[in-house]
């Protein structure tokens, strides 16, 4: 179940009390945040390079967390993944 409600008329994203933070996002930050929300867990290298600069700003604002885990059960190497805070 997604924790997003999109209001078509106001074009704002409401996400568990983060409404004040989301209103202050740039267009690029909002696009990256929506990409991460749609994907659930997103491998950091899958973020388009032109949008990747927004990831540290989203982490700093507390909207996104970075964690490491194996990309597959067969590999031991851990990859960085992105997840919207509050999603599990």
In this predicted model, what pLDDT tens digit does every residue of 11-63 receive, in sequence order? 344 445 555 567 789 999 999 999 999 998 999 999 999 999 999 999 999 99
The pLDDT value given to residue 12: 43
What's the CATH fold of domain 10-84? Arc Repressor Mutant, subunit A (1.10.10)
Please give the pLDDT value at position 23. 78
50-84 b/e (C-beta count within 10 Å ≥ 16 → b)? eeeebbeebeebebbeeeeeeeeeeeeeeeebbbb
- The model carries a pTM of 0.72
């Amino acid at each position: 179940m997604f924790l997003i409600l999109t209001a078509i008329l106001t074009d704002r994203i409401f996400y568990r009390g983060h409404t004040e933070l989301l209103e202050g996002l740039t267009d690029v930050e909002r696009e990256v945040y929506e990409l991460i929300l749609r994907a659930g867990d997103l491998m950091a290298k899958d973020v388009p390079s032109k949008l990747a600069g927004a990831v540290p700003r989203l982490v700093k604002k507390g909207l996104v967390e970075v964690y490491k885990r194996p990309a597959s059960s067969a590999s031991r190497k851990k990859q960085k993944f992105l997840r919207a805070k509050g999603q599990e």
